[in-house]
Amino acid sequence: MKINNILSTIEKLLPKSTSIEGDRIGLQVQSGRSEVSHILVTMELSDEVIAEAIDLSVDCIISFHPLIYRPLTEIVDIERVGRLVSKLIKHDIAFISVHTTFDAHSEGTSKIIADLLGLRVVSFLLPSPNSSNSGIGVICEAQQPMNEWEFVKLVSEKLFAPVKYTSGRKNTNITKIGIVGGSGSSFLKEALDANLDAFITADVTYHSFHSVKGLMLLIDPGHYEMEQFVSLGIAQLIKNSIDSSVKISVSSVNTNPVSYYPENNWKALQNEYLINVKINWNKQ
């Protein structure tokens, strides 16, 4: 399948007009490739993901996270982006990013988390001005009220992660929840304006926790921890729209750069999830 046709298909499914302004999406490295026969879908690129792609004879990687965020002034092996770009070109592997266009999709990052938690999505937190069926973040309803501890425990268990949180209003059951997968602390005002009982997002600063303490339960499970499920989601989205002659694989590489102390079994649970995704995907 021609790479331009793949890009056109992605544009129909995930229009660039729904992305956050300034995001780096689309074809980032072509590597001289015009035809694609095997796609690997991953959350983000690493040396290990490229090794996996080479082992699988992949000629195109579709990644949630972009590789190139800012203009490159040099491409050298001692710098992460330069090294990965060089490897892609050396092995004739194209690289495409979808990032906030998948965040904004009705079945995207935040919806996946809502489904994992057993929540019913009722609306977007920030509807897209360019599409009636997309937006950043979701507002959900719990099937049954939970107290704070029950809900924090649920988030930790379903996202395979230790969590940071600050308590909300006293004696409030958790029924109305907002989710922004990844870095969403810039949307705290919108979350408060929506009168949420709880808000789940990542990369929350100390002072942000202070700003909502006593107003809304705020939970930060971690950035990778919220986005570890996107590879499968992206693969499922594109599977029926890409020519059947193109093979699609889902990466089983854990790219999380963060470790935990005490170790517990968080990384093991994350790895087990990725392995099970690979096994179940290959059975299809």
Give the Cα separation of 32 and 39 in Å (integer).
Answer: 16
CA 34 to mean position of chain CA atoms: 27
The domain tally of the chain equals 2
Question: Is there a contact between 281 and 250 (Cβ–Cβ < 8 Å)?
Answer: yes
Give the Cα separation of 117 and 136 in Å (integer).
Answer: 18
Domain boundary among 202, 221, 240: 221
The answer to whether residues 144 and 233 belong to one domain is: no
Q: Could you tell me the two tokens for 253?
A: 């590489």
pLDDT in the model for residue 271: 94
The answer to whether residues 91 and 169 belong to one domain is: no
Ranges of residues in the chain with a pLDDT under 50 are: none
pLDDT in tens, 98-157: 999 999 999 999 999 999 999 999 999 999 998 889 999 999 999 999 999 999 999 999
Tell me the Cα Rg of the chain.
Answer: 19
The answer to whether residues 145 and 233 belong to one domain is: no
The answer to whether residues 123 and 98 belong to one domain is: no
Structural domain harbouring 137: 105-221
Q: Which of 130, 3, 109, 113 is nearest to 65 (CA)?
A: 109
Whether the predicted model's global pTM rises above the 0.85 cut: yes
Give the Cα separation of 67 and 199 in Å (integer).
Answer: 28
Give the Cα separation of 190 and 182 in Å (integer).
Answer: 16
The answer to whether residues 113 and 184 belong to one domain is: yes
pLDDT in the model for residue 262: 75
The answer to whether residues 194 and 88 belong to one domain is: no
Give the Cα separation of 125 and 202 in Å (integer).
Answer: 16
pLDDT in the model for residue 64: 98
Query: CATH number for the domain including 254?
Result: 3.40.1390.30
Domain boundary among 172, 200, 221: 221
Beta strands 198-202 and 217-220, pairing class: parallel
The answer to whether residues 59 and 72 belong to one domain is: yes
